[in-house]
Amino acid sequence: MTPPLPPATRRTILGGAAASSLLWIPPATAAAPPQGVHLTYGADPRRQMAVSWSTPASVRRPRLEVGVDRSLGRVVDVDSRSSKDVRSVYHHARIGGLRPGTTYRYRIEHGGATGATAASGTFRTAPEKPEAFRFAAFGDMGVNAAAAAHVALIRQQEPDFSFVVGDLCYADSSGGTGVGGPDTQDFAEWDRWLRQIQPSARSTPWMTTVGNHEMETGNGELGYAGYLDRFSLPRNGVDGAPVTYSFVYGNVGFIALDGNDASYEIDRNADYLGVDQDRWLVGQLATMRARADLDFVVVGFHNCMFCTNLVHGSDGGNRDRWEPIFDRFSVDLVVNGHNHCYERTHPVRDGAPVVEAPRGAVVDSRHGTTYLTAGGAGQAVYPVGGQALSYVTIAGGARVPEATTWSSVTDAQHSIGFVDVTPRDRAGVARMRLTALATDGSVIDRVTLRRSSRTGE
Ligand SMILES: [Fe+2]
Ligand SMILES: [Fe+2]
């Protein structure tokens, strides 16, 4: 007698870093409402957007419809991925050919064993020409009450997008050190985190980077598989490093680096890209600085280049690799996390402050780079920094004491950075105003970076 056939199954080809393998996706078992809906821009935020979401199990015919009015009308293909140690399935719809400065409606729809389920939302593409906009900047969020309060604060402040510098959900609490093994892992934390951010991320993109806690033990060679399964990032980064990318919004170029590749402090992924990432960075900066329509460049990665906080101090690896490059191209703002606190430097050039920039200052950012530690987005905060003497981790891991004359403002409270960008005024001066808000919305710090488009000013 012929044995019965196994039940019908479905397989899907993975995208992102795990594209080389096939993973089993469990069959649809029940109606599964979309969860953790979040947006990311493509490489061109004027014309490209990705909508991502998860379901508790596999679903039938996942699809996304998008359009400028209630009739929607355009159906977009969906790429579905499974991920390590969870039954959740992650769905990604990359949308191209959008119109700049336009509000779109979208609707997620799919079937389950007990019927169709759906979710809907809206998003807005970046404007064709520079106009005033706001972005949020922060890292080190986790799943906790402070993080949830910050999501509400971000919604209230209505940024156009968030720039998130790693240590997202802490599904692997060993933080790239490998200490603790499976006991330190709970990959369901990703779903809790995505549900936590959905109230903001379903309508404004969250542009994320990797921190040391995205190096998950046993989850791909670099540990990034869990992150890449859940995000649909711009595909214009370093070859072999889909966690890196760049995009332009208005008059600002944004570059997301993999700080783990350059860290001396936590060297799990150190130098897996090496000179390739540095060359890509130089190419991106050269291109951005050659564009007449761009005023500012913002670079984001996780590890601190300049921070007095004694928990992690500053990372000499990131300095050795990138500080000369940032100086050469006069990068305006570097956003880091990792130290769970707030800190802002004076404008720095060649490792030293070039001008005083106390709270409320207006500074010409051509003279130096402002380094921001925005690691207070939710995880337990570290004791206050601001020490006159801190340390930098050098090659081999030794901590070398150093004076911290470059530090301007430190604060140990939880906080979120908000940056208001305005295009050039009649005098040709563009501005980025950084405001750091505590959880209750009170102002911790404020500074304005200005840059003139006219030579000699
Ligand atoms: Fe962290
Ligand atoms: Fe970190």
Per-residue pLDDT 10s for the chain (457 aa) are 333 333 332 222 223 333 333 444 444 445 568 999 999 999 999 999 999 999 999 998 899 999 999 899 999 999 999 999 999 999 999 999 999 999 999 999 987 545 566 889 999 999 999 999 999 999 999 999 999 999 999 999 999 999 999 999 999 999 998 776 667 899 999 999 999 999 999 999 999 999 999 999 999 999 999 999 999 999 999 999 999 999 999 999 999 999 999 999 999 999 999 999 999 999 999 999 999 999 999 999 999 999 999 999 999 999 999 999 999 999 999 999 999 999 999 999 999 999 999 999 999 999 999 999 999 999 999 987 778 899 999 999 999 999 999 999 999 999 999 999 999 999 999 999 999 999 999 999 999 999 998 865 5
Residues 304 and 429 in one domain: yes
Q: Judge contact between 200 and 151, C-beta under 8 A.
A: yes
Give the ligand with the smallest distance to the CA of 175. Answer: 2
Measured CA distances, 124 to 40, 63, 71, 108, 160 (Å): 11, 20, 17, 17, 8
Least Cα distance to 37 among 102, 117, 114, 153 occurs for 117
4: in domain: no
Q: What is the CATH number of the domain that holds 352?
A: 3.60.21.10
Give the residue from 88, 104, 124 where a domain finishes.
124
Does one domain contain both 164 and 24? Answer: no
Cα of 99 vs centre of ligand 1, distance in Å, is 37
Task: Among the bound ligands, name the one nearest to the CA of residue 170.
Answer: 1
Token pair of 119 as six digits: 């979710």
What does R_g of the chain's alpha carbons equal in angstroms?
22
Q: Distance, CA 140 to ligand 2 centroid (Å)?
A: 7
CA 339 to centroid of ligand 1, rounded, Å: 6
User: Which residues are within 8 A (CB) of 230 and not within 5 positions of it... i.e. 6 or more apart?
Assistant: 36, 52, 54, 83, 90, 190, 194
Do residues 415 and 438 lie in contact, with contact meaning Cβ atoms separated by under 8 Å?
yes
**Running DSSP on this structure, what letter comes out for residue 308?**
-
Does residue 78 sit in the same domain as residue 215?
Answer: no
Instruction: Give the distance from CA 240 to its chain's centroid.
Output: 18
The total of structural domains in the chain comes to 2
Instruction: Categorise residue 391: left if φ over 0, alpha if ψ from -120 to 50, beta otherwise.
Output: beta
pLDDT computed for residue 395 by the predictor? 97
If asked whether residues 192 and 100 sit together in one domain, one would say: no
Q: Is 42 helix (H, G, I), strand (E, B) or coil?
A: coil
In this predicted structure, what is the pLDDT of residue 387?
81
CA distance 193 to 205: 15
What is the structure's pLDDT at 118? 84
2: in domain: no
Among all bound ligands, the one having the nearest atom to the CA of 176 is 2
Whose CA is closest to 172, among 137, 207, 220?
220
Q: Where in the sequence is the domain holding 86, given as residue range(s)?
A: 10-124
The C-alpha atoms of residue 259 and residue 269 are separated, in whole angstroms, by: 9
Amino acid 20: pLDDT: 34
Distance between Cα 212 and ligand 2 center (Å): 5
Domain limit, last residue, from 124, 157, 175: 124
Q: Looking at 80, 103, 124, which one is the last position of a domain?
A: 124
Is the same domain home to 63 and 206?
A: no
Same domain, 169 and 79: no
How far is 88 from 80, CA to CA, in rounded Å? Answer: 10
CA dihedral 348, 150, 234, 241 (to 10 degrees): 70
Dihedral, CA of residue 10, residue 11, residue 16 and residue 18, to nearest 10: 140
Ligand having the closest approach to the CA of 168: 1
Burial status of residue 358 (CB atoms within 10 A of its CB: 0-12, 13-18, 19 or more): exposed
Question: How much is the pLDDT for 206?
Answer: 98
Q: Which ligand is nearest to the CA of 266?
A: 2
